Amino acid sequence: MTSLAVNGVTCRGKVLTLDSMNPNVRRVEYAVRGPIVQRAVQIEKELREGVKKPFTEVIKANIGDAHAMGQKPITFFRQVLALCSYPDLLEDNKFPEDAKKRARRILDACGGHSIGAYSASQGIECIRQDVARYIEKRDGGIPSNPDNIYLSTGASDAIVTMLKLLVCGEGRDRTGVMISIPQYPLYSAALADLGAVQINYYLDEDKCWGLDVTELRRALNAAKQHCKPRVLCIINPGNPTGQVQSRECIEDVIRFAKEENLFLMADEVYQDNVYAKGCKFHSFKKVLFEMGPEYSSSLEMASFHSTSKCYMGECGFRGGYMEVLNMDPEVKAQLTKLVSVRLCPPVSGQAMLDLVVNPPLPDEPSYASYVKERTAVLAALAEKSHLTEEMFNTVPGITCNPVQGAMYTFPRITLPQKAIAKAQEEGQAPDMLYCMKLLEEEGICLVPGSGFGQKEGTFHFRMTILPPTEKLKVVLQKIRDFHLRFTQEFS
């Protein structure tokens, strides 16, 4: 609140300025929707207004947004959502009986039989039961308790809530949270917002973005000098790096977390997105239980899932859940209280989640179409994952690990010294310069590696593999051409 004298009149400055706002919020960064995406939106506007560009559309390969890239929703899911939205349709014989059955079950669990009523803050009970059964089935029968399931507004909401619970202390006692580098920037953003200490551990690009416990230990020990490490976050399959962790690796991580008394957060939103031969998704919970009661009865853990990824890609519904394990009952009561302040996750997102965890069964009328649609999406993603890796690795100056899973490739790019110098002059990350130029020249929107974190002196970008195959081929070709041009221009 400053006072300024302008033309003899004293006028006060704004109450809320960059200087007087929450400093933690200022520190937040979120590259996936950062300056490059803002410029992309601007360019789209310019195109609509008739401004001439070397391209006719902007391809937003910056974000894992399947439907925006043309992927069609699963028919059954949307039929049920329509029935829930407008229950008069339950009388319509165009809808299959299994869709009606699901819709009736969801509506019966809603106050006044309406998805317009608030639900319990933890989520609708029968949906939490369905989630628990889904987890049990996924994990070969290891029990899951619906009381440990919290439905959420996308996985992001649950991750932020869990981190919020965990952060305390001041100075050297401040909670430290271990996150991978490269990371998904929700984590760094949430930690900045909460004023927690971010502890970076590096994935090994030379070993297919593998995670090594030696590196975890190095990062932890270094951090102990200035904060209190309490939390270890893992993303598997990896975002932005696309690796799928082996069973051994997961065991190592669990052992490490137990030894070091860390709360484990397992971000498993890409659990259906595994493409590479020999790779398989292992849930942290399953591995934990298979390691025996010494682990399964004590390690505190939360795992996260979402309706936004996998084969359904229903991002807009903001559905998700977390399962908490071995959480102190008093803390669980606090968690329930905390989520109650926001009343409830969107009920249509809860309904969508229910369909994801409780899809048509083999003896139901919609089963065949559901399986067909699901399989087609996952097969196309697998094909695109291979295509992307192969193509990038033909370009001199681009090297690319296999996209084992998830929806992204995170190739390493060699940038000429002159380009690096130019970026530094302009106070810009070199890979931001690269991505901005690519956007301006080719209309392709990627996210620079600097937005996810990377080893000093290396440069990357994240690109989704979501565009339809033919379009993806064009995108890859354009990036190839651009990269060669860029290299030449700055040589």
Restricting to residues 313-342, name those near a copy of itself by CB under 8 A: 313-318, 326-328, 330-331, 334, 337-338, 340-342
Find the part of the chain contacting a copy of itself (CB under 8 A) among 106-114, 200-208, 359-367, 440-448.
106-114
| Interaction mask 37-76, a copy of itself, x per CB under 8 A | ----x---------------------x-xxxxxxxxx---
Closer by beta carbon to a copy of itself, 76 or else 202? 76
| Contacts for 452 with CB less than 8 Å, ≥ 6 apart | 31, 181, 182, 183, 184, 185, 240, 410, 460, 462
Q: What gap in Å lies between CA 62 and CA 35, rounded to an integer?
A: 12
* Member of 36, 43, 109, 166 binding a copy of itself (CB under 8 A): 166
What is the contact mask toward a copy of itself in residues 275 to 314, using x (rule: CB under 8 A)? -----------------------x-x-----------xxx
* Element (DSSP H or E) covering residue 386: helix 367-392
Lookup: tokens for 284? 């942290």
Is the separation of the CB atoms in 134 and 107 below 8 Å? no
Bridge partners (DSSP) of residue 258 are none
Which range, of 161-169, 389-397, 421-429, 476-484, touches a copy of itself by CB under 8 A? 161-169
Q: Which of residues 190, 223, 407, 444 is near a copy of itself by CB under 8 A?
A: 190
CA distance linking residue 274 with residue 280, whole number of Å: 7
Is 106 a binder of a copy of itself (CB under 8 A)? Answer: no
User: Considering beta carbons, is residue 157 or 354 the nearer one to a copy of itself?
Assistant: 157
* Sole binder of a copy of itself in the list 132, 186, 407, 415 (CB under 8 A): 186
Report how many residues bind a copy of itself under the rule CB under 8 A: 98
By CB under 8 A, what part of segment 382-411 binds a copy of itself? none
Q: Among 318, 333, 354, 355, which Cα is nearest to 158's?
A: 318
**Are 58 and 445 in contact, with CB atoms under 8 Å apart?**
yes
Tell me the window of 112-120, 353-361, 413-421, 438-446 that interacts with a copy of itself (CB under 8 A): 112-120
Which helix (H) or strand (E) covers residue 388, if one does?
helix 367-392
The answer to whether 6 contacts a copy of itself (rule: CB under 8 A) is no
Beta carbons within 10 angstroms of residue 420's beta carbon: 18
| Bridge-based pairing state of the strands 197-202 and 301-306 | unpaired
Q: Which of 136, 147, 193, 215 binds a copy of itself (CB under 8 A)?
A: 193
Task: Report the residue from 100, 102, 138, 230 that binds a copy of itself according to the rule CB under 8 A.
Answer: 230
Shortest distance in whole angstroms from residue 141 CB to a copy of itself: 27
Binds a copy of itself by CB under 8 A, chosen from 81, 197, 381, 476: 81
| Alpha carbon distance 309, 267 (integer Å) | 12
- Rounded distance between C-alpha atoms, residue 206 and residue 399, angstroms: 10
Q: How far is the CB of 415 from a copy of itself (least distance, A)?
A: 26
Give the one residue of 123, 320, 349, 448 binding a copy of itself; rule: CB under 8 A. Answer: 349
Q: What distances in angstroms separate CA 49 from CA 43, 52, 56, 290, 480, one per listed residue?
A: 10, 9, 12, 59, 29
SS3 category, 423: helix
Residue 256 C-beta: closest distance to a copy of itself, Å: 14
Asked if 89 is part of the footprint of a copy of itself (rule: CB under 8 A), the reply reads: yes
Told to check if 109 binds a copy of itself by CB under 8 A, we report: no
Collapsing DSSP to helix, strand or coil, 199 comes out as strand
Site for a copy of itself in 460-479 (CB under 8 A): none
* Contact residue for a copy of itself among 40, 177, 189, 423 (CB under 8 A): 189
Instruction: By CB under 8 A, name the one of 61, 131, 244, 262 that touches a copy of itself.
Output: 262
Return the residue of 116, 140, 141, 365 that touches a copy of itself, per CB under 8 A. 116
Alpha carbons 396 and 414: distance in angstroms, whole number: 9
Question: CA distances (Å), 93 to each of 84, 140, 179, 190, 366, in order?
Answer: 15, 37, 51, 47, 14
Q: How far apart are CA 469 and CA 395, in angstroms?
A: 19
